[in-house]
């Protein structure tokens, strides 16, 4: 077994998106090859309605897939094809934007005012950039959950893991997307295909990754105050970790346990031309997409069988 080293660890950075939603960005709008096939990861957890109520009004997407995972509260969504639905706590939506879609996502808090969730963007390869849009909305109850005797819990959202298969399928990046909770003090090893890029995002508790048996933490480069310094890392809440080559990720949970997303996918290794919510392969394709937005031809006529109705996650 070859343990993947942590090559980079940094806190998610505050950002404002949509009509004024306050969130934290793990990565995005940088070098598109760094996390290939993934382009962007946002943590939009908020405990005050003013932080999220403005939502994400109508906006376009083309050439990507977006993955929305809700932990608390709900998200009402609709699109230019007439799909409507609501994602609630524990639900997942995988949207293939393909040739183009206009949609909106409007968050709502739970009884405590909390609205917690994540959104990940995955690139589409050249031959699928203009594929037909589709949705996969999945209820929380339909996501397999593995509970081990030591208290470890794994929700398998996408991919195959420990004998379970996630309900979302047919994704170009062939990803694995896991929500993992490890009990206090436990040391765990999780297999990751050697061909995949992988990252973890810690959103509750803390843990030591890579050399999990080292009580001093892992020596690595970490961004502190905009500078990269060598420190011993005990990764905690809102920390994104990028992994190097290997076939497994290891973690030792801290005194309060640790909960994190473990995401991996097969690199696409194609040129990327990217502006806002539209991702193509060339600048000419990008200009064409924005020209179509202006002249009203961005949404392509439906072909073949109708899209499945969205909103099944309600």
Has residue 289 got a pLDDT over 70?
A: yes
What three-state secondary structure class fits 177? strand
Strands 160-161 and 101-108 turn out to be unpaired
For residues 94 and 257, give the distance between their C-alpha atoms in angstroms, rounded to a whole number. 29
At residue 171, the pLDDT reads 78
The number of beta carbons lying within 10 Å of the beta carbon of residue 111 is 7
How many alpha carbons lie under 13 Å from residue 119 in its C-beta half-sphere? 21
Give the CATH number of the domain where residue 38 resides: 2.60.120.10
Q: What is the mean pLDDT of residues 71-86?
A: 92
Quick: pLDDT tens for 133-150: 988 899 999 999 999 999
The length of the chain, given as a count of residues: 314
| 242: pLDDT strictly greater than 70 | yes
Distance CA 46, CA 13 (A): 14
**162 is in which domain, residue-wise?**
6-265
- How many distinct structural domains can be found in the chain? 1
Query: Average pLDDT, stretch 59-87?
Result: 94
Within a domain: 156: yes
CB atoms inside a 10 Å sphere around CB 48? 12
* pLDDT attached to residue 226: 61
Please compute the mean of the pLDDT values over residues 247-258 and round it to a whole number: 94
Domain assignment of residue 239, yes or no: yes
Residue (of 50, 189, 197) closest to 120 by Cα position: 197
Residues β-bridged to residue 243: 6
Cα 231 to Cα 223: distance, rounded to the nearest angstrom:
10
For residue 135, with 0-12 CB atoms within 10 Å meaning exposed, 13-18 middle and 19 or more buried, which class applies? buried
**46: in domain:** yes
Judge whether 311 lies within some domain. Answer: no
Backbone angles phi, psi at 285, to 5 degrees: -65, -35
Is the residue at 140 inside a domain? yes
The answer to whether residue 286 sits within a structural domain is: no
User: Stretch 147-172: mean pLDDT, rounded?
Assistant: 92
CA distance 71 to 116: 5
Does residue 20 register a pLDDT over 70?
yes
Mean pLDDT of 159-165: 94
Residue 115 in domain: yes
Over the range 80-91, which residues count as b (16 or more CB within 10 Å of their CB) and which as e? Answer: ebebebbbbebb
């Amino acid at each position: 077994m070859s343990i993947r080293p942590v090559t980079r660890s940094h806190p998610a950075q505050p950002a404002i998106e949509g009509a004024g939603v306050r969130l934290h960005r793990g990565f995005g709008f940088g070098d598109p090859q760094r996390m290939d096939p993934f382009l962007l990861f946002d943590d939009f957890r908020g405990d005050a309605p003013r932080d999220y109520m403005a939502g994400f009004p109508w906006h376009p997407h083309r050439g990507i897939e977006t993955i929305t995972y809700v932990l608390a509260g709900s998200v009402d969504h609709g699109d230019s094809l007439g799909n409507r639905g609501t994602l609630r706590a524990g639900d997942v939506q995988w949207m293939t934007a393909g040739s183009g879609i206009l949609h909106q996502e409007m968050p709502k808090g739970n009884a405590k005012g909390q609205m917690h969730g994540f959104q990940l963007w995955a690139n589409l390869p050249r031959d699928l950039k203009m594929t037909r849009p589709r949705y996969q909305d999945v209820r929380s109850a339909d996501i397999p959950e593995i509970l081990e005797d030591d208290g470890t819990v794994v929700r398998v959202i996408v991919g195959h893991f420990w004998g379970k298969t996630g309900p979302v399928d047919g994704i170009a990046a062939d990803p694995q997307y896991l929500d993992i909770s490890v009990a206090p003090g436990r040391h765990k090893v999780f297999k990751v295909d050697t061909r995949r890029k992988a990252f973890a995002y810690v959103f509750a508790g803390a843990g030591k990754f890579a050399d999990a048996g080292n009580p001093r933490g892992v020596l690595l480069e970490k961004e502190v105050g905009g500078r990269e310094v060598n420190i011993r890392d005990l990764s905690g809440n809102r920390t994104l970790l990028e992994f190097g080559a290997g076939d497994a990720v290891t973690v030792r949970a801290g005194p309060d346990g640790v909960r994190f997303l473990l995401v991996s996918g097969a690199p696409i290794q194609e040129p990327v031309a990217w502006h806002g919510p539209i991702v193509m392969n060339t600048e000419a394709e990008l200009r064409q997409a924005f020209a179509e937005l202006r002249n009203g031809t961005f949404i392509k006529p439906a072909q073949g069988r109708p899209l499945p109705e969205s909103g099944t996650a309600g």
